[in-house]
Amino acid sequence: MTQPSALTPAVSETGDPLLLTPGPLTTSRTVKAAMMHDWGSRDARFISINHAVLAQLAEIVHGEGAYVTVPVQGSGSFAVEAMLTSFVPRAGKVLLLINGAYGLRAKRMLDIAGRETVVYASAEDTPPDLAQVEALLRQTPSITHVFAVHCETTSGILNPVAEIGALAAKYKKSFLLDAMSAFGAVPLNAPALQADAVTASSNKCLEGVPGLSFVVCRREALAATQGNATTLVLDLLDQWRNFESTGQYRFTPPTHVIAALHQALDEFAAEGGVEGRGGRYRNNCRILIEGMTALGFEPLLKDGLQAPIIVTFRMPKHPRFDFQHFYDGLKTRGFVIYPGKLTVAESFRIGCIGRIHETEMRGLIAAVHDVLKEMEITGVADAVRS
Ligand SMILES: *Cc1c(COP(=O)(O)O)cnc(C)c1O
């Protein structure tokens, strides 16, 4: 593939613009093609596909044996809400480690469910201070659960989940993790973290299509959630029991989405699993940061904090830099980026995940250069930052 110019926009294998966003993402042609069938929910082939998918999802976080995957129909937030409302009992109290929109969303879910919370918030570009987390755990024995976000997609920051998990275990708290945007790309070992539940979805680093979310649950912890649920549809234990007894979903499964995820997991394994997928994303991320930095853009996060998932760039202060023009110019060239939603700085985001390789990333940098020229921002570095 040659580098795209304004006349030949970059496209996915099916001719669509490339989605450099937090999701949904660009998927392969073969993943989309896997949806060209109509299965009944009781079809033996569908049941076996679903069974294989659930087993593979648990294996990605080394959960085989002690953990089970409970799927939840819907986007990732459905599984987060299912996890929080199924695992936290009425008398529970959750320590929430918040440094972005997804942590805040978890807080809203618990508020609505009437569950007590203790919030430890840090700035969007700052991981939690572990000494302060430990102090909170020591001082507040009534805390029953700790909730953290692995990669906070709001900024792209990687939170120190191994250390947080170790603290939760030390103080005998149940650890619940939103690993949505890192699952499959950043190594995660649920038993080593002593996590009771880890949640993610079909359409981020697994490169499936949106519509299925899931919670990898420690079997014993899940069994102990009887009576906690606040809704019928998000009751993980009830959902799980139905699988145990019938192999089927309680309510209409997104059959096409699950078939696509099955294909996506085959492609994930063929790429070398977490190592291969994570390696491609790290390379994408490196090309993105190097290329953008050379053009004068400034990433929000320091190197050691950046997950290879999505990169936040500070909004340039150059008088001729117009974000709408920038966004539209990239869209015309086949690249869809994402506005920022930070409170610490004006920003925009560019994703490294989905069916995107080195060629497309280099094409993006060429397109950024092109759009800057269109805005008559000719120089690099200082011209943009000034
Ligand atoms: C994407 C994401 C979610 C779920 O968002 P949906 O829009 O409901 O899919 C939750 N947490 C994190 C960290 C995410 O990146």
C-alpha 299/C-alpha 321 separation (Å) is 16
Residue 383 has pLDDT above 60, yes or no: no
For a pLDDT cut of 70, what percent of the chain falls above it? 96
pLDDT band at 380 (very low <50, low <70, confident <90, very high): low
156-201 confidence digits (pLDDT tens): 999 999 999 999 999 999 999 999 999 999 999 999 999 999 999 9
Taking CA atoms only, the protein residue closest to ligand 1 atom 6 is: 76
pLDDT at 236: 98
What distance in angstroms lies between residue 310's CA and the mean position of ligand 1's atoms? 13
| Residue scoring higher pLDDT (158 or 10) | 158
Give distance in angstroms: CA of 327 to centre of ligand 1. Answer: 22
Assess whether pLDDT exceeds 50 at residue 386.
no
Cα(102) to centroid(ligand 1), Å: 7
CA of 20 to the centre of ligand 1 (A): 15
Q: Residue 381: pLDDT band by 50, 70, 90 thresholds? A: low
Of 226, 217, 353, 380, nearest to 292 by C-alpha is 380
Beta-carbon contacts of residue 350 (< 8 Å; ≥ 6 apart): 20, 288, 292, 310, 311, 313, 337, 338, 364
CA of 83 to the centre of ligand 1 (A): 13
Most ligand 1 atoms within 8 A of CB, residue of 109, 150, 154, 201 to mutate: 201
Mean pLDDT within 10-17 = 89
CA 375 to ligand 1 center in whole angstroms = 34
pTM of the model: 0.95
Q: Which helix (H) or strand (E) holds 1?
A: none
pLDDT tens digits, 46-103: 999 999 999 999 999 999 999 999 999 999 999 999 999 999 999 999 999 999 999 9
Q: Give the rounded percent of residues in the chain with a pLDDT score beyond 90.
A: 91
Q: Ligand 1: residues within 6 Å at CB? A: 22-23, 75-77, 80, 102, 149, 153, 178, 180-181, 201
Strands 310-314 and 347-351: antiparallel
Atom of ligand 1 nearest to the CA of 150: 13
User: What domains can be seen in the chain, in order of their start residue?
Assistant: 18-22+273-385 (3.90.1150.10), 29-269 (3.40.640.10)
Residue 222 has pLDDT above 80, yes or no: yes
SS3 string, 290-333, reads HHHHHCCCCECCCHHHECCCEEEEECCCCCCCCHHHHHHHHHHC
pLDDT at 152: 97
The single-letter code of the amino acid at 96 is: L
Atom 12 of ligand 1, residue of closest alpha carbon? 180
Does residue 5 surpass a pLDDT of 70?
Answer: no
Beta-bridge mates of residue 218: 67
